[in-house]
Amino acid sequence: MARDLGNVLIGVAVIVAAWWLTAEAMIHLRGAAFPTPPEAFVALWEALLGAELNNATVYAHTQSSLSRWGAGYLIALAFGLVAGMAFGTAPRLHDAGMVAVYILQMVPGLAWIPIAMLIFGLGEAATVFIIAMTAIPPIVINTAGGIREVPTVFTRVAQMSGREDSSVFLHVLLPAASLSIINGMRIGLANGWRVLIAAEMVVGVALGLGFSIYQSRYSLDFTAAFVAIMVICVIGLTIEKLLFVKMENKVRNRLGIDREDDT
């Protein structure tokens, strides 16, 4: 645990150092108003104390981003898990349908903007749609793949003991595939979070961390953009490392596969 913390500190230090060097270089070479880490951290501190960025507190921005992301992700989970389980258990469906999923996965986040706007117009629904569309493919792919890779011998054990298909699915396929399924859920979550900035270009309401970053192009308040970037990174990392790593370790442990030594 102490080692992990050390690694996190090193990682942060590397990023901050690179950022600082870039900022100083740009200030001197181009005269650009590139926020330095101390300026940005001060602004972050002030924002956390309640100063407004782009006409709202950082809490209001964060809250609206989180709720859009949550909505998009829940939709992605519902679609992705159901589709993944269907593809995973029906080989014919898998062969016919997976190419479409891989194509969807290739569509870059920004490319969903015109599509979202054509379907939903400007507004909340378009944002949620974009988040969902980028989160769905990895969930489908990993769920289906995980189920398909369950060793035949496991299903045979269940079949010979007289289990119904539904019982084989519930008691054998799902647990055996759970690590892969969780992995897909994690990639989907990260995809959705990363696409927030793009997705919030089409929000109707002037709120959101991504919107804040985008808005700095017009307001020229680049320090505010850096505050938003930092908040996005911290939230993304926290959810990924704390929530998912914990969940994965727990599942690993339950599955009885290479138990973590340090838990």
Partner 1 sequence: MIAELRNVSKVFADPRSGRGLVALNDVSLSIEEGEFLCLVGSSGCGKSTTLNLMAGFEAPSRGQMLFRGEEVSGPSPERGVVFQEPSLFPWMSVLQNVMFSLQDGGARKAVREERAMEQLRLVGLDSFAHARPNDLSGGMKQRVAIARTLAMEPEMLLMDEPFGSLDEQTRRKLDNEALSLWQRERKTVVFVTHNIDEALTLGTRVVLMSPSPGRIEREWHIDEAWPRDLSSPRMVSLRQEVVGMLQACPCANGAPRPSLLTLEED
Give the footprint of partner 1 on this chain (CB under 8 A). 151, 153-154, 156-162, 171-172, 175-176, 254-257
Task: Determine the Cα–Cα distance for residues 206 and 55; give it in Å rounded to an integer.
Answer: 8
SS3 151: coil
Tell me whether residue 2 or residue 160 sits nearer to partner 1 (CB atom): 160
DSSP-derived letter for residue 202 is G
150 vs 207, which CB is nearer to partner 1? Answer: 150
Instruction: Tell me the C-alpha distance between 44 and 223, whole Å.
Output: 9
Distance CA 213, CA 232 (A): 10
Q: Residue 155 Cβ, how far from partner 1 at the closest point, in Å? A: 9
Residue nearer to partner 1 on the CB measure, 48 or 255: 255
Which CB sits closer to partner 1, 157 or 242?
157
- Closest approach, Cβ 151 to partner 1, in A, equals 7
CB 177, min distance to partner 1, A: 11
> Which CB, 147 or 190, lies closer to partner 1?
147
Least distance to partner 1, CB of residue 178, Å: 8
Helix (H) or strand (E) holding 67: helix 58-89
In angstroms, the CA 213 to CA 204 distance is 15
Determine the Cα–Cα distance for residues 184 and 139; give it in Å rounded to an integer.
4
Q: Which two tokens stand for residue 122?
A: 């400007």
Helical (H) or strand (E) element with 86: helix 58-89
**Which CB, 171 or 217, lies closer to partner 1?**
171
Other Cβ atoms within 10 Å of 26 Cβ, number: 14
Measured over the CA atoms of residue 195, residue 201, residue 203 and residue 209, the dihedral's sign is positive
In whole angstroms, the minimum distance from the beta carbon of 186 to partner 1 comes to 20
Work out how close the CB of 164 gets to partner 1 at its nearest, in angstroms, rounded to a whole number: 11
Burial of 58 (0-12, 13-18, 19+ CB in 10 A): buried
